[in-house]
Structure 1
């Protein structure tokens, strides 16, 4: 993670609606649709500026600010070593027409060495309740291919969260499932300085494929209360105090 690097800073503040002078104080609710549009425009333009810069760059969402975003795509490759600092709030548009693909909200594509830092105040609000009324077709596909590797989750506070730590390569929603012959290879994943409480009975789930077991999973100073660990077909290494324990079967 590169959160300590800061040679220059690109702030969304430089592109927000106040700079355009389009909205008067107190008009937030009435103008929400327009604000969503211009906040999305601001975010994408700030991203382009940060991405095209050289060296280490921070893209800042300031504390105390809320940015309503429609579906956006943030493309690489970038010249810079980029850190997205979400110290304020990113809130998803609740209009279905703002999504060409309703399964995607904020997409990062074609990037290497991207870090996301939420600090102590950052919030990403997908406004999920808007979509709960829309039924989803059951996805019965199993398996997959490819690799997910060199991933770090760190400095996260969990407050009554369902499935705080979970890797599930072997998902099955039937009473009997055949053993999958393919899976995404998960390797070198670090969970560091993760604490808080679990809303589910299982706080740590590493449900990995027998044919493609998870490799080099590191639990480093993990303390999640209210649930137990359930791990299978996973190469797990503990560092420091880890609770609950999750010994692979």
Structure 2
């Protein structure tokens, strides 16, 4: 407010936000703080840039920040982003305020659901981006109705997310909760995420990620992928997902790779998961292609190995509760399944397991057995 906001949710407050940010970023104070008080602020697309003189900056959101509710506000601008922090180290975004993306205008022209529109859009703004950052965090913040992904973490190292709430409708297109790309050494904990896409999605060039105590639903589950689109080389490893609950989601624990991809996904653990009426509680799809259902066998594929599924129970809303659809050319190997009990969400119905080119061991798994025990030939 000291930098000129009207704080009534109608007049553009963007310049006041930038002035406050620039003052903090250039401050001689070691740990400056930007405070957004308990009022409503209308903010057009902006980017908070670093590097900063301060070694640590706290960005405290106590009020509500709202986006323009019409896509035309992005004309001539980068339509992939609304709010972004770029090249800022030691940043802590916190506070119990709300970031409201007002995404309905974008959803109503999305090609995913409105392909008949002459100017439908495939790209819409991410509510909040963290780009090229180190030693930063996001905590205690609420996100609602982002036009597309709610939070993107890209090119970051040593990043923590804790106690975040994300909400958007089940049918909102591509509204991932948190997406991670080209980042390492992350923790995402104690959060509740409901969206129209993945609650948390892990993209390419990601390692050392700990995800725990997550409530997911609605949405598409917690996913590694999709990976390898366009035949790219994939490097994803050391992913640990534990103590998560999935309610009414499309997927639970998912790994999805394109047939034409290369590289690897390895050293992944899913454990202590609860599924409540989930369509695909445990799923690997190593044969992803477009159009769906027309995939032919290829010699390429992202190698998936050393994946553990442990201590899982709950219900599946479809017949196939465990579905490991791996590549014949590059089979899944080192799969370990232990203490899994899945039943049908529908009284009197049975569930089954389906495994193709998936090799490993299983103990106390129902439905099962499913995995092949012989070792695959390595190309």
Fold shared by both chains (TM-score > 0.5): yes
Structure with bigger strand share is: 2
Aligned with residue 245 of structure 2, among 185, 201, 223: 223
Alpha-carbon deviation of 1:242?
4.2
CA 58–190 in structure 1, closer or farther in 2 if over 3 Å, else same: farther
**RCO higher in structure (CA 8 A, sep ≥6):** 1
Where in structure 1 do 4 or more consecutive aligned residues deviate above 6 Å? none
The structure 2 residue matched to 1:158, chosen from 165, 184, 193, is 193
Correspondence for 2:120: 135
**In the alignment, what sits opposite 2:46?**
72
Structure 1 residues 193 and 65: CA distance shift in structure 2, 3 A: farther
1:113 maps onto 2:90 in alignment: yes
Structure 2 counterpart of 1:8: none
Residue 179 of structure 1 aligns with which residue?
A: none
Structure 2: where are the runs of 5+ without partners?
A: 110-118, 124-154, 156-180, 257-264, 276-280, 283-306, 309-331, 333-379
Q: Does structure 2 conserve the Cα–Cα contact (< 8 Å) formed by 1:208 and 1:234?
A: no
Check 1:93–1:149 CA distance in 2 against 1; reply closer, same or farther (3 A cut).
Answer: same
SS in 1 for 2:90: coil
What TM-score comes out, normalization by structure 2 length?
0.44
Counterpart of 1:61 (choices 11, 36, 50) is 36
The 2-side partners of 1:155 and 1:16 are apart by 36
Q: Is it true that 1:190 corresponds to 2:210 in the alignment?
A: yes
Q: Distance in 2 between matches of 1:152 and 1:130?
A: 32
Identify the structure with the greater helix proportion: 1
Change (3 A) 1:58 1:17: closer
Correspondence for 2:225 among 167, 182, 207: 207
If you compute each CA radius of gyration, which structure gives the higher value, 1 or 2?
A: 2
Tell me how large the CA RMSD over aligned residues is: 3.3
Match of 1:149 in 2: 184
Aligned residues: 196
How far apart, CA to CA, are the structure 1 residues paired with 2:187 and 2:62? Answer: 19
Separation of aligned partners in 1, 2:101 and 2:30: 31
8 Å contact kept, 1:67–1:90:
yes
Please name the residue that 2:316 is paired with: none
